[in-house]
Structure 1
Amino acid sequence: MMASPWLDVLDDTIQACATHDRQDLAASLRARRSDLSGSGVRVLVVGESGQGKSQLVNGLLNAPVCAVGDDLTTSVPAVVRHAPSPVATLVTGEAAPRAIEGPAPEPVAVEQATARANKATGVVRAEIGLPRKLLESGLALVDTPPVGPPAAQHTRTTLSLLPQADATLLVTDATRELTAAELDLLGQVLRLCPTVLVVLTKIDLVPGWRRVAERNRARLARDGLPATVVPVSASLRLAAARAGDAELNEESGFGALVRYLHQDLMGHVDLLRRRSVAALGHATVEQLMAPLREELDELRQGGTEELTARWRAAGRKAEELQREAARWQTVLSDEVADLMADLDFDLRERTRRILREADEFFDVADPARDWPQFEEWLRDNLKSVAETNSNWLLDRFEWIARKIARQVAPRQDVVPESLLGSAPRDHIGELRMPNVERFGIGQKLFVGMRGSYSGLLMFGLATTLAGMPLINPISLGAGAAFGAKSVFEERGNRLKRRQATAKTAAHRYVDDFFLTYGKECKDTVRMIHRELRDRCTAVAQDLRAEIVETAQRIKQVIDTETAQRGVRSREVSRSMEELNLLRRRAQALAATRPVRGLTA
């Protein structure tokens, strides 16, 4: 025997719920499938408080099965089925309000069942059985708690019962037209239970009920709500039942309502099943597709914007680092060139100052006597010059290194560790005393005798003209004076020669220091320059390699996430296509001729 199409759709819907990890929906649909497998038809009676729902059920069954009164409000569902004899039970327990079937019954009198259920605590529903012809074919009427803002809990209870209903009677009285709240309720009912009849009650109390009924029909047609309006009067129905008046019963409108229930509903059970499954399938698919739509929107919107921005920023940073490398190398070369020029000028200026002081010293000092003192002074001054120049070189280079470091890697120390230990040596060699001619006693006697001979001879010859002898007191005095003058002049000349020799030796010594120390200083500058350049280059390369590696990792993450999003997007799209196909199959079940509508 082939399964009904609606059963296949329902089974596939249950499978879809399980596939999308919605076990709650799957359990609800399995319970509904069990109900639909039987031959019974469940009709919910819903409406706002005071509209006559309970009295409508009483009128249909011609029995006071539901408690009515201005001070009574239905708080739990009352399920009325066929039974060979009147019976009523109260079902208690922790079962959810939507579960019409359940254990734990408590027998009570039929007339007291709903009144006790509405007042008792812990009661899930009241179940009533009556021997009525209307119920023999499997029809079950469910009187539900009222809906509306004053009774939010009751509203949730009633709406939770709609997925289990085969048809619904929306009850409204004839004292007014359908309100916005009732129209909204009707829309919710149609989404879960597409077979709905609007029952207009209390027509016996409103002379103009026909006008209200027509306006309700026009409003329903204008809003596109497929529901038929049936006016009834429970009071006339009960009165007709007591009097056995068939004409009054027909005037009450219950004849048409009973025909609707008995013929249009019970005569088209398979059609009701189709429409119920169509509504259930549509509602379930919507619940399953809602999170898929949100996920698909998120997947299509991306989500890698931050990673892409970081990747692009890393690329820009690597390019900027490349440009900075050429810039700081130029700056380093310029700074080193300026440093070498400044160091050379400073060294030359300091040594020239020392030479000037040395010349001034030997203008008055005798090297033969003061050379040891001069030697110590000169060595100390040259050592001071070397230390000052070396310290300036290191300080200046450290400043250059810090300046370059701020351009290469502000957060890293790129100053070479050997920078402070790379000072040039002073290269102060041994200063030997120059070979100076000393003016001894023998040399003084020789020079004095040579000078005195000239004076003696000159003045002796002059005095002979006066008749005096060649050697006389005058010539002897002149000879002594000339001899002393010659000794004095020779001593001065010899001092000047010694001073000149000392100056030349000092100049030669300072020049040797300047050349040797200057060469060592330049070598030190070039060595530190190379070391600093290599160090900065290595740091820049490490930074660039780190940036490139980071960019590659980010790009890999972007590619991976993009691929995963693509795969997931295709999976979600495929799931949505499957659900759309399931929804179209459900809609196709409802695309059959509707249950015949009734007119007043």
Structure 2
Amino acid sequence: MRGTVVDQGGSVGASEDTTSAATASEQAENAQAGAARVGSAPAESSELPRDGATHTAEADTEHAEVAGDAGSELVLSHDTGDVVELLAKARKITQLLGRNDLVEYLDRARSRLLDPHVRVLVLGQFKQGKSKLVNALVNAPVCPIDDDIATSVPTSVGYGETPSAVVIRHPEDGEGTGDPDEVERIPISIDELADYVSEKGNPNNERNLLGAEVFLPRQILAGGLRIVDSPGVGGIESTRSLSTLAAIPSAHAILLVSDASQEYTEPEMQFIRNALRISPNMAAVISKTDIYPQWRRIEDIDRGHLADVGGVPVFSVSSDLRLLAAAQDDATLNRESGFPGLIGYLRRDVLSKAEDLHRQVAIHDLESSLDQLAMAVRTELTTLMHPEQTPRIMAQLEDARARLDEFRGRSSRWQILLSDGIGDLMSDTEHDLRDRLRKVQREAENAIDEGDPGPIWEQIAEWLNDRVSEAIAETFVWTNERSQWLSQQVAEEFVAENPALPMFDVSDTAELLEPVDEIQTLDPGQMGTIEKIYIGLRGSYGGVLMTGLATSLIGLTLINPLSLIVGVLVGRRAFREDMNNRLMRRQMEAKNIVRRHIDEVVFQVSKPLKDRLRLVQRVARDHFGGIADQLNRSLNESVMAAQRAAQTYSGNREEGIRILQARQQQIELLRQQVRALTETEEPVGALR
């Protein structure tokens, strides 16, 4: 696919697209520094800081909303307060019944519901306007931007009562190396952020930072939204795209940023296809519409490309116009910037869906806990009210416990399915990886056979790196899909109700190729004039000598015109043969370099690939085994309750029945309320 390039020229102020953008680029820096501050008005106010503001981002503490955003307010289909209230009531009953394990289970559900942490990952190539897009979204100059500044460390922007920032890294020991199992958070000033997260202050992340977090009092972030500014992928087809793909499974949604200078290229479309296979929640953002007057044509072309891979929403925006609108408190200019539509998408299609999903998970956890509590209470109550049925109840419970013990064992069907599935998956993924890399090797060898690899070896090495990275990314994305499918099969075998699935991150390819050495250099095959003369003389010497000896029989000298002509012809042939031999040696050496590199890649990648699949097995085993252990605990509690009831004296029986009936009514009332919530819920699409 060839990119359609739009010439950069003129301001949009001269076109009908954005009539107020004539000074956008010129005033953007002033708008960024003076107007889009972390506001100084009260939190409830929508008043914007003016151009004359001189306070810094760290000194500002309050919220500022851009005029014109009112139409994109957050619309939630449900309120989480009712679920939180039911969780609190269920927790109280659970404590009374002494089920501390279920108390922790409900506490985790409540924490997930109240603090969802919805991550939106901003991706794109270098200098596409990602950092300025983040700044324009939150109306604050948090991410460093400049012509010679690029992001080197992922930066997360989330909600906080006061502006603050931290950097995250592994703690260092005396030798300067970090513990990979621990992290430390170091508070820094927001004004110092550029020294840690930009290529200018931290080139190639020489500080070995894992990331940075910024907290701002912004309404758009108050619902748990966290916007992550990522380093540019340096040409999405490059090896750096592996680490970019690695971050996608941890994100709830993706914003893919590309400026309006040209349409999507084929490598970008391949990256989009891979990203959609990992996370279907993606939106395309076309930036810098104030610079390129023909951005609408590029938008139409990109929409056509995206229509071939799925329904991806497209938003054309201008960060400069957004910041200028903030400086001038201009709602019309803000609408022309295109940001109200993007903000509306984040609030309605990302935050709202994420909250609905967390709500449904919390309701499921609540139902499971109440069912287990109801079983124990019902067993004890039945034993108290009908002592003659105690032997039958005990027999049923013991039978259920025996079946559950068998279900928890290694011979259970779900355990066998998981073990066999992982074994098959390991074999399939290793074969898939080798098959893809063998195709790359054949393509490289065919290219080498077509000409001299020496002069163009740098281009061949770059192409080989890109194709190897693409093959590895494809394998790991495919492995991620197969792992999710396997977990679904295990869940269906485990229980008909389909319990919540654990999240797997086997598509993570971060640092995967770091142990692989760079491709070796190859002799370019360029000879100097002296070396060429030497080869020619060495080849012509024999021709001159043989011809001179033959002609000496007829009285000619050893060196004569005939011997010189023959010497030139023989020398020319020797020169060509030498050149062909050198070419064949370079081709053979180039093929050997490619083979050694492919073998090294297979060796280095196979181990992490198997480790990730073992991780899938452990996570699935622990997840479903934990559910089985929880059910086993509930059965044991029921058995103990029945035994206690059987040993209760008749004088205490009535009091015990009264207490248990009250608790049963409380549990049943909560179950009815939960069922009422479930009936009003609508299924939510997969949102990671």
TM-score (norm 1): 0.40
TM-score (norm 2): 0.36
Which structure's CA Rg is the greater one? 1
Instruction: Kindly indicate which of the two structures has a greater share of residues assigned to helix.
Output: 1
